[in-house]
């Protein structure tokens, strides 16, 4: 049986972060965790769009949809080379997008997620602990 640390190292290498669900899954189903990381990498690898751009898009989607678990994609975006300015621009795109599709909670709520992305960005770059989901604070 593979050690949890080895599996998580593999996941981190492929995904540039370790999602909570894979952290929990790794000790019990290491092959599943690794296959998910492979699947993820396949969609994020550089092709026509660079990985950084794809992660920034995913971050914008997280803001637009008020998804606390999607805004974590700011971390792999940074690891792939995104600047603070690029993160800010992705956040703004997410805010704009939230106002353009039916049944969304709207820009005021998405602004909370935008601010959380910017907080994560700042803390991560400073080497400080960060949290991408505080359930009582965020909807979704």
Q: 77-127 pLDDT, tens per residue?
A: 999 999 999 999 999 999 999 988 788 888 999 999 999 999 999 999 999
Residues 117, 63 share a domain? yes
CA-wise closest residue to 62 among 110, 21, 18: 110
Residues 35, 60 share a domain? no
Residues 119, 82 share a domain? yes
Residues 68, 121 share a domain? yes
| Tokens 């949290």 -> residue | 131
Residues 28, 11 share a domain? yes
Using the predicted structure, report yes or no on whether residue 139 has a pLDDT greater than 60.
no
Residues 68, 27 share a domain? no
Three-state DSSP state, 34: helix
> Considering the domain boundaries, does residue 133 fall inside one?
no
Residues 71, 105 share a domain? yes
Domain extent at residue 75: 51-125
Tell me the two tokens of residue 82. 């995104």
Residues 119, 103 share a domain? yes
pTM of the shown model: 0.86
**Domains contained in the chain, number:** 2
> Considering the domain boundaries, does residue 85 fall inside one?
yes
CATH number of 106's domain: 1.20.1290
Tell me the two tokens of residue 7. 């599996």
């Amino acid at each position: 049986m593979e050690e949890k640390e080895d599996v998580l190292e593999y996941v981190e290498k492929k995904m540039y972060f370790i999602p909570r669900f894979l952290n929990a899954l790794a000790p019990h189903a290491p092959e599943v965790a690794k296959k998910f990381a492979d699947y993820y990498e396949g969609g994020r690898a550089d092709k026509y769009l660079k990985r950084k751009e794809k992660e920034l898009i995913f971050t914008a989607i997280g803001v637009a949809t008020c998804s606390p678990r999607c805004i974590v994609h700011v971390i792999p975006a940074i690891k792939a080379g995104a600047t603070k300015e690029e993160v800010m621009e992705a956040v703004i795109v997410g805010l704009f997008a939230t106002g353009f599709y039916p049944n969304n909670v709207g820009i005021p709520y998405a602004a909370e997620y935008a601010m959380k992305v910017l907080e994560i960005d700042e803390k991560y770059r400073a080497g400080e602990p960060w949290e991408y989901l505080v359930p009582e604070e965020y909807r979704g």
